[in-house]
Structure 1
Amino acid sequence: MEYQPGVCNIGPTQQRRRLLLGVGSLLAAVAYVAAVVALAWPRWALVLSVVPLYGAAMGALQYRERFCVGFAGMGVFDVGEGANEIENEEALAADRKKAVKLNAKAMAIGAAGTVAVFAAVTAFL
């Protein structure tokens, strides 16, 4: 695997970490929603599920895209040989542009998931 500015900045090991982040965040979202329902918390508390749902989306997107938003912000990449600093300004700009897009997608997915959770729980209660 090779580093490609604005396309790929992590290898298989880092991808697995992002997948675990996504799965863990999704499980946290499920546990949180279950707690809200089981403990009869106010329905507005379901809005806070956006945080773990955003994390789940971010983990899944980073895994799928082979791209770490945090690495882009720090100006590094790790495709398997350890972290390396990005010295080319154009490459750094391309990575940061991709990071902004992935972050926006994750926020949109997290928000849509929260709306779906709110609607589903409200319909069944």
Structure 2
Amino acid sequence: MQYQPGVCNIGPAEQRKRLLLGIASLLGAVVLLAAIVAVGWPLWTTLFVMFPLYGAAMGFLQYRERFCVGFAGIGIFDVGDGTHEITDQAALDADRKRAVKLNTKSLAIAAVGTLAVYVVATLLI
């Protein structure tokens, strides 16, 4: 695997970390929702599910896209042979542009997921 600015900045080992982040965050959303229902908190508290849903979306997208938003932010990449600093400004700009897109996608997915949870909770509770 090779680093490609704005396309791929992590290898298989880093991808697995992002997948685990996505899974753990999704489980966190489920646990939070279960706690909200079990404790009987007000319906509006289901909106807090957005935070772990954002983490889940971010983890799964970074895994699928082979691209780490955090690495782009600090200007590094690791495609399997260790961490390297990005010295080319054009490559850094391409990575950061991609990071903004992935962040936006993750936020949109989390918002839609949260809305769905709220609507379903409204119908069931």
Fold agreement, TM-score > 0.5: yes
CA distance in 2, matches of 1:78, 1:110: 27
1:31-42 aligned at under 5 Å gives the runs: 31-42=31-42
| Match runs of 1:10-21 below 5 Å | 10-21=10-21
SS at 1:4's partner residue?
A: coil
Q: Runs (4+) of structure 1 moved beyond 2 Å?
A: none
Aligned to 2:5: 5
Distance in 2 separating the partners of 1:26 and 1:89: 35
The residue that corresponds to 1:61 in the other structure is: 61
Give CA deviations for 1:45-69 in whole Å, capped at 9, x if unaligned. Answer: 0011100000000000000000000
Distance 2:102 2:13 in 1: 20
Amino acid of the structure 1 residue aligned with 2:80: G
| Partner-residue secondary structure (3-state), 1:20 | helix
Aligned match of 1:23: 23
SS of the residue aligned with 1:112?
Answer: helix
- For the aligned residues, what is the CA RMSD? 0.4
* Structural mapping, 1:80-119, within 5 Å: 80-119=80-119
User: C-alpha displacement at 1:101, in angstroms?
Assistant: 0.2
Distance 2:86 2:56 in 1: 27
> Could you tell me how far apart the structure 2 residues matched to 1:12 and 1:122 are?
41
Amino acid at match of 2:31: A
* Identical columns (%): 63
The residue number in structure 1 matching 2:49 is 49
What is the CA–CA distance in structure 1 between the aligned matches of 2:114 and 2:15, rounded to whole Å?
Answer: 25
Take 1:37 and 1:122, find their aligned partners in 2: how far apart are those partners?
11
Letter in 2 for 1:36: I
5+ residue gaps, structure 2: none
Residue of structure 1 in register with 2:79 after alignment: 79
User: How many corresponding residue pairs?
Assistant: 125
| TM score, norm. by length of structure 1 | 0.99
Unpaired runs of 5+ in structure 1?
none
